[in-house]
């Protein structure tokens, strides 16, 4: 089915899902020192007369509780409320869902003991003349283990403050990356890339020019067969009144 969205022709029957599913198995990716998600049937009553929300246990329906953390258990989209004293929710900040996007592949630079997506990694790879609304960063090497990795205590690659400023200044409003965070795992709470991208000068008293309508999506996975280039991006979230929501970013080739 061919549709016209944002003046682009796309085939809706050929979505490219770059999210990572959330499961309650050891295959689920994990960050920030968490355990795996919990998905289990609701239980009511006492032993002998217990009701279990599972058809295979005699119930008429499957009726699960799910316990997870959007930041640490898979693909998620977050708003400026992730780092501010005041409350801002992704459900209120993200009001449009289709964007022109550019996918780039970059190899982080070794700086000291860290792997860093430096300014030059972005500036020499991204064609800024395309004026895209969203930037999708695939880090190299692009290994399948990203879909299952426990990132806790591994000091994953991250985005430099200078690179985040560059991304902001060229007008990127939605940043997507295949890492658990745009910032260093242990950075003493500085969150330099988050603050630079959202243009937050004081988390306790938010400045008027902070970018409330911009988002960061982390822990995506872009398969190697998906080529760098221009796409139409659809960011799908759950309607959580929270700083972040599990999300399902979808790419469409532009016909």
Phi and psi dihedrals of 128, rounded to 5? -70, -15
- pLDDT of 48 above 80: no
- pLDDT-based confidence at residue 49 (cuts at 50, 70, 90): confident
Phi and psi dihedrals of 48, rounded to 5? 100, -30
CA distances from 237 to 8, 91, 124, 145, 249 (A): 22, 8, 32, 24, 8
Cβ–Cβ < 8 Å for 193, 160:
yes
pLDDT attached to residue 2: 80
Locus of tokens 């070794």: 110
Mean of per-residue pLDDT scores for the chain: 96
End-to-end, the C-alpha distance of the chain in Å comes to 12
Closest by alpha carbon to 214, among 228, 232, 194?
194
Parse the chain into domains and list their residue ranges: 2-21+71-253, 38-67
Cβ–Cβ < 8 Å for 28, 37:
yes
- pLDDT-based confidence at residue 235 (cuts at 50, 70, 90): very high
Residues in the chain: 255
pTM for this one? 0.96
Q: Tell me how far apart the alpha carbons of residues 96 and 210 are, in angstroms, rounded to a whole number.
A: 18
- pLDDT of 23 above 90: yes
Closest by alpha carbon to 221, among 5, 13, 22?
22
Q: Residues with Cβ < 8 Å from 185, sequence gap 6 or more?
A: 151, 153, 154, 155, 156, 158
Antiparallel, parallel or unpaired: β 134-139 and 174-177: parallel
pLDDT attached to residue 8: 79
Q: Tell me how far apart the alpha carbons of residues 36 and 82 are, in angstroms, rounded to a whole number.
A: 22
Q: Model confidence over 173-225: pLDDT tens digits?
A: 999 999 999 999 999 999 999 999 999 999 999 999 999 999 999 999 999 99
Q: How many CA atoms lie within 13 A of 23 on its CB side?
A: 10
pLDDT attached to residue 45: 87
Cβ–Cβ < 8 Å for 97, 105:
no
What CATH architecture does domain 2-21+71-253 belong to?
3-Layer(bba) Sandwich (3.50)
Percent residues over pLDDT 90 in the chain: 93
Strand-pairing partners, residue 16, are 251
pLDDT attached to residue 41: 97
CA distances from 231 to 101, 114, 134, 225 (A): 5, 31, 9, 14
Closest by alpha carbon to 200, among 222, 168, 160, 224?
168
């Amino acid at each position: 089915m061919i549709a016209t969205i944002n003046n682009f022709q796309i085939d809706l029957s050929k979505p490219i899902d770059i999210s990572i599913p959330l499961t309650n198995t050891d295959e689920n990716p994990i960050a920030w020192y968490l355990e795996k998600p919990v998905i289990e049937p609701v239980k009511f009553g006492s032993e002998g007369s217990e009701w279990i929300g599972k058809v295979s246990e005699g119930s008429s329906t499957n009726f699960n509780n799910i316990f997870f953390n959007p930041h640490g258990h898979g693909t998620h989209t977050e708003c400026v409320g992730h780092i501010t004293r005041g409350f801002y929710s992704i459900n209120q900040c993200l009001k449009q869902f289709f964007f022109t996007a550019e996918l780039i592949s970059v190899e982080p630079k070794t700086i000291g003991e860290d792997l860093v997506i430096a300014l030059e990694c972005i500036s020499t790879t991204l064609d800024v003349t395309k004026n895209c609304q969203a930037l999708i960063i695939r880090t190299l090497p692009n290994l399948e283990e990203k879909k299952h990795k426990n990132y806790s205590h591994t000091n994953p690659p991250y985005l430099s403050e200078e690179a985040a400023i560059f991304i902001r200044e060229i007008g990127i409003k939605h940043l997507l990356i295949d890492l658990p965070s745009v910032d260093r795992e242990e950075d003493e709470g500085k969150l330099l890339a988050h603050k630079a991208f959202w243009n937050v000068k004081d988390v306790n008293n938010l400045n008027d020019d902070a970018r409330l309508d911009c988002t960061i999506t982390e822990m995506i996975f872009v398969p190697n067969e998906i080529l760098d280039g221009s796409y139409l991006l659809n960011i799908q979230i759950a309607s959580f009144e929270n700083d972040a929501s599990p999300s399902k970013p979808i790419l469409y080739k532009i016909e």
